[in-house]
Chain A
């Protein structure tokens, strides 16, 4: 009989559910978290089950993570750091460093070949170190979130900014617009600001290759490029970078089930 494991990640911005069977991902779902975490987690779980063609009773074990994960009704709860490491390890066994750019902040994690965490550094809750800054600026520049990355790659003369605070950057971006800076140059400049912030956070952690960028921020090719330039390394990005912590939760549910057998 097949064993299916469910991982749920209720994050600040998005909620995710992943179902795995062995090493294979059967279903992965991402929805906005909203304000009612328990109904969000019920919804995201139901959708994952539907996609995998399974019933709730088919799930062997489940685990949850993320700020709202304790209300997800899963079998166990685990910290995001651990889940990031296990999830990344499943997709990129060669990965030793993870940069997770989430909806409220970011974290840098180093790990071994088995996905065991060696060291980590978590940012304080700050919009600049998160994908949130880009959301704020997308509104001002009137570009879609998905277009930010590709547009920023066209930059020829990235704007420079005197501040890294999102609130102050809002004002400074408006000044740059009035001075005639092109949107692509502004975006590329912003990407550098975020990359600087993240690289500052990776101090004290020995960064080893392969490096992987995950979280909502990893969906922005311009930001990934800025991080590569800042850290002077090539990084790997999973196909669906937002689901890694949920995937890790599913992996942990499987590990724990294996132990209890």
Chain B
């Protein structure tokens, strides 16, 4: 029986404003493969592409994927998904899978930021910012453009200092002007960059504090890949943060695990026609192993 269920998989597709991610998990909920690529303007084409890529990476074919959940800003544009689930739910699930004790999750994406309070793996409260570029990856992109630097390079350079300059404006437009003024004043670049990270972080932490930040804190989203941001987050929060190995894919991972849970539930209710036999076996096997 184990041999059969080992050929049964579940997928999560997260179409974000900037990046698209796909994750494949097996019947036990273990991640088998993931891919990340830029979203671009063509959501549908992108969704197909990340799905193809992730299946190739996992060495599987579409027939072996029993259930697919899409999430993220572009989740409606995943025509082959069986179900759409909000990014908050998927994110909470994905983070909890990686860090079962997590109490607070802070996610900073390309155009938004969210703070989730999680208890025993369940989402209990959240706040989001999608109205203002300050406190999102967009702020960092604007800063990088202004300074003519690569985003990763910016992070590394910022680590050279412990004396960040103060960026007073929370508004991206005015902060950009401030960065230029600091440069013209002759402030060292590492200090300016560290100041930029503190400014972005301060904005998000302001949001997080409304929900009360409790450790352990997990920091995810594309912005969490930046070493300068991780340092700034720990400084502003005054506590260490956990960052997954691949902080971009927690939403897609959560979607894939939810796809597995959902498929099992449908089988139990006798409502999933597709590959019903294999799924039933996978479910029984899963429940038995769980005991």
Contacts and interface: CB of A to CB of B under 8 A. Distances in A.
Given A35-B184, A125-B174, A167 B142 contact: yes
Contacts of A163: 131
A59 interface: no
Nearest to B172: A167
Contacts of A167: 133, 138-139, 142, 172-173
Contacts of B160: none
B131 A165 contact: yes
Nearest to B141: A167
Contacts, number: 39
B34 to A, nearest CB: 28
B174 A104 contact: yes
Given A168-B133, A168-B138, A35 B174 contact: no
Contacts of A35: 181, 184
Contacts of B111: 168
B174 A164 contact: no
Contacts of A127: 171-174
A165 B170 contact: no
A164 B111 CA distance: 13
Interface in A151-167: 163-167
Among B132, B139, B170, the one with the most A-chain Cβ atoms within 10 Å of its Cβ is B132
Interface in B155-177: 168-174
A132 B173 contact: yes
Contacts of B131: 163-165
Contacts of A124: 170-171
A207 interface: no
Interface string B92-109: 000000000000000000
A164 B169 CA distance: 17
B133 A165 contact: yes
A132 B133 CA distance: 15
B277 to A, nearest CB: 46
Interface in B175-210: 181, 184
Interface string A72-114: 0000000000000000000000000000000010000000000
Interface string A103-139: 0100000000000000000001111000010001000
Among A35, A104, A127, A167, the one with the most B-chain Cβ atoms within 10 Å of its Cβ is A167
Contacts of A168: 111, 133, 138
Contacts of B184: 35
Among A35, A124, A125, A164, the one with the most B-chain Cβ atoms within 10 Å of its Cβ is A125
B11 to A, nearest CB: 29
Among A127, A132, A136, the one with the most B-chain Cβ atoms within 10 Å of its Cβ is A127
A35 B168 CA distance: 16
Interface in B135-154: 138-139, 142
A126 B171 contact: yes
A12 to B, nearest CB: 8
Nearest to A175: B41
A149 to B, nearest CB: 21
Interface of A: 35, 104, 124-127, 132, 136, 163-168
14 contacts: A35-B181, A124-B170, A125-B174, A126-B132, A126-B170, A127-B171, A163-B131, A165-B131, A165-B133, A165-B172, A166-B133, A167-B138, A167-B172, A168-B111
Given A35-B181, A165-B132, A167-B142, 14 more contacts: A35-B184, A125-B168, A125-B169, A125-B170, A125-B174, A126-B132, A126-B170, A126-B171, A127-B172, A127-B174, A166-B172, A167-B133, A167-B138, A167-B172
| Minimum-distance CB pairs A-B, first 8 | A167-B133, A127-B173, A167-B172, A165-B132, A126-B171, A165-B133, A166-B173, A125-B171
